[in-house]
Structures are given as C-alpha cells and as structure tokens.
Structure 1
Amino acid sequence: MSQLYDLTEVAQQNGKNGKPCWLIIKGNVYDVTKFLNEHPGGNDVLLEYGGKDASKAFKQAGHSSDAEKDLKNYKIGEINPAAPPIQVQPTALPAKSPTENPISGDPQPAKKSSGGFLCCC
C-alpha cells in the first residue's frame, strides 16, 4: 500500500526555504525536488505548484506519454481520501485609516451639516 498524505502535509512541502517540492497530480503525491533543474519548462513552473494540486496544469501542458511514465519515478504516495479538506479561513479586511479632512487637516472626513450638505466644500 502506498504512503498516505494529508493536504496539509503536502502544502508544507512547497519548495521554498530549502523544503522539498511536492506536487499533487490526480490524487498522487510526487516529490519533484530532484527534477526541478531538469524540467524542460523550467523549475518556476514546478515551484508555482509546489505543495498544491497541479493536475489541471499538468493536463493542460500537453505532456507526452513519456513524461507521464517518467512521473511515476517521483511518486511518493497518495492523498489520504479520509483526510478532511483544508479549511480556508476568511481573511479579515484591514482596518481603514481615517482620511484626512483637506480643509482642517483633522484625521476625520468632512461631516455633513444638518441640512444634508457637506460643509467646507
């Protein structure tokens, strides 16, 4: 039986900061670290998908049957089908800093007067 990996484990192996470069293609996990400098399309393409699912990109690149055969040499396992998917937390929007009132220089926007018109226009 093949080694099973969670998506979080693969995501950590993104080829950055001296880490190995792993890719997911069709549910299989490949360590392409040793292939980075040999890849005909350059290592940037592989590093772009380091730690991610590259299935669609691999298919769209139109790899030859030889490339698909060679890929087997780099297989280290499969994605664990029982592992929960990665939960992406929504990122909080940065707090807006108050805009400066161009007339007074105060860090507050111009305020509306009781008549509904903007003062200091």
Structure 2
Amino acid sequence: MEPVSMSKDMLIVGSDDVEVTIPNQLAACSLVLRRRSILGPITMPYTGEELSNAIAAYMERSSTGKYQQMSPKETEILEEMGLGDVPAEQQQQHQHIYRTTDKEPSTRQRHSLGSCPYHHQIQEITSCDADSANSMADVINLPMITLEEFIVNNGSDGHRLWILIDTIVFDVTEYLNKHPGGRVPLLNGPGKDSTLPFYQHHGRKGNTRPLFNRLKCLAVGRMSSSDFQRVPGYQQTNTEECGNPSLRRQFLQYFHVME
C-alpha cells in the first residue's frame, strides 16, 4: 500500500455540512484518520461545532499535559477518530513549544484559535508577527474603505476577498483554506454585512485573545457609518440580541468602533 501523503490538512465534514480541518500534526497521531482520508474528506455524524470542540479539548490536553475533563460527546468523537488517548510524545512536543517562549506564538509557530466554535484547532500563523499583535496603533489607524471598494473585493476576477463586521473590513483571501470551519462561511461574506453571523458563531469559550490577535492580522480598513448602513444585508445590531453581547463589546472596544 502506498503511504498516505500528509502534505495537506485533512477535512472532516460534519452532519451539518460544515468542513473542519484536521491539522497534519493531529492527523499524524491517528491511524484511523489517515486510513479514512485516503478516499477524500471524512464524514462524521456530528456537527461542525461538536467536532471542533472535541478537537479543541484534545489539543488543550496534549499542549498542557494536564488531565482535562471532557464531555461524553467529546470523548465519543475522539475515540471514533482514533484519538482516545493523548500520546506522551505529543504532550512533550506541545509542552516544549509553549515552554520555549514567554510571548504569544510568533510567525510560523503553532497557535490555538480557541475562541470560536469552528476555530478550536492548531493553525500556523503566517500573516502576522506576534510582537506587533500587542500594538494597538495599527488597529486605531486603519485606513478608510468606501462601500464601492468593499463591494468590488468579492474574490472574483482576481480581486481580494473581503468581509465586513461592525464597520471593520477583513481580508480573508489567504485565510480561506486555513479556516477550520471551512471555506463556505467566508465565501458567503463578501459584498454584505457579516456582523450578526460573526457574533453568533464566535467567542463561546471565553478566551478571546487568540481570536482578536487573528482578527488584527486580517483587518485592512474601516468603513464610515454612513457607508456601512448602505451595505447589502445591513441590520442595526442590538448588542444584547446579537448572539454574543460580551464578544461584541470587546470587538467594539478593541477596534475603537463607536456605536
């Protein structure tokens, strides 16, 4: 039998058709996943959120080396993936990464996006250096982007792929294939207001710092309130009814957005 190529991340498709990326370093620990991926994306009878939460629990345990209580559902999913136990070697590997630096992981280091239901996986940071993530200057001084500029950058005909959240514009062109929730949620964002979907599907685990570090790397500009209100699909957002009031307050403060 030919050896399974590990050059690309594996995909698991949930029961809700959400694609969840399994990073190579995780797939390498499971013979079950490697065998099942030979024929293409793996399908499992769990939602994308359930799959991502199970992966997050596994990665957290392997990175800290400490026992973490998992829900019965997470245990069931991991056992089906062939990841019922965290190998000692992997624990040591992840612990070494976290012990060798006192800073946030820098370029090309692995980083846990633990604030989004579909982001509980180890990803590589390639677009933003961690040292600059602590500076707020870039966030405050984002250039103004017009409605027309935003609309044209819809990912077609060689244009960039931009999404808009609460007047802040993010370029997700290079992030499409890295998004643990799959490409579809991002491909649905160009040319319209993505504010409510963002708050409804992110920040459920409490620790939002990794999420904002990633958002800072992707932010390319801000839109005026008048243009924002003319964006297709615009809805005036009520913080208490947005799906995640705490995350929205943090977002507005972090990006200096005036309600």
TMscore range, shorter length: 0.5 to 0.7
User: Aligned to 1:74, which of 192, 207, 218?
Assistant: 218
State the AA in 2 paired with 1:39. H
Within the alignment, does 1:32 sit opposite 2:176 as a pair? no
The residue that corresponds to 1:3 in the other structure is 143
Sequence identity, in percent?
31
Equivalent residues in 2 for 1:78-93 (5 A)? 78-81=222-225, 83=227, 85-86=229-230
C-alpha RMSD of matched pairs (Å):
2.3
Higher relative contact order (Cα pairs below 8 Å, separated by 6+ residues): 1
Q: 1:14 to 1:26 in 2, by over 3 A?
A: same
Q: CA deviation at 1:80?
A: 2.4
More helix by share: 2
The SS at the match of 1:37 is helix
Secondary structure of 1:36 counterpart? helix
Partners of 2:177 and 2:148 in 1: CA distance: 25
Counterpart AA for 2:179: H
SS in 2 for 1:77: strand
Q: Aligned partners of 1:39, 1:11: CA distance in 2, in Å?
A: 22
Alignment pair present for 1:17 and 2:151: no
Encode CA deviations 1:17-74: one digit per residue, 9 max, x unaligned.
3321101112111111010100011111101011322111110002361223311101
Does the 8 A contact of 1:7 with 1:85 survive in 2? no
Q: 2:193, 2:231 within 8 Å by CA — same for their partners in 1? A: no
1:59 equivalent to 2:199? Answer: yes
Q: How many angstroms does 1:4 deviate by?
A: 0.5
Normalization by structure 1: what TM-score? 0.62
Q: TM-score, normalized by length of structure 2?
A: 0.31
Matched, 1:50 2:190: yes
| Displacement of 1:85 | 4.9
Structure 1 unaligned regions, length at least 5: 89-121
Provide closer, same or farther for how the CA distance between residues 73 and 60 of structure 1 changes in structure 2, counting only shifts above 3 A: same
Change (3 A) 1:33 1:85: same
Q: Name the larger-Rg structure.
A: 1
8 A Cα contact 1:21 1:51, kept in partner? no
Q: What is the number of equivalent residue pairs in this alignment?
A: 88
Give yes or no for the alignment of 1:41 onto 2:185: no
How far is the alpha carbon of 1:82 from its aligned partner? Answer: 5.2
1:97 is matched with which residue? none
Cα separation, partners in 2 of 1:7 and 1:73, compared to 1, 3 Å: same
Q: Which runs of 4+ in 1 moved over 4 A?
A: 82-85
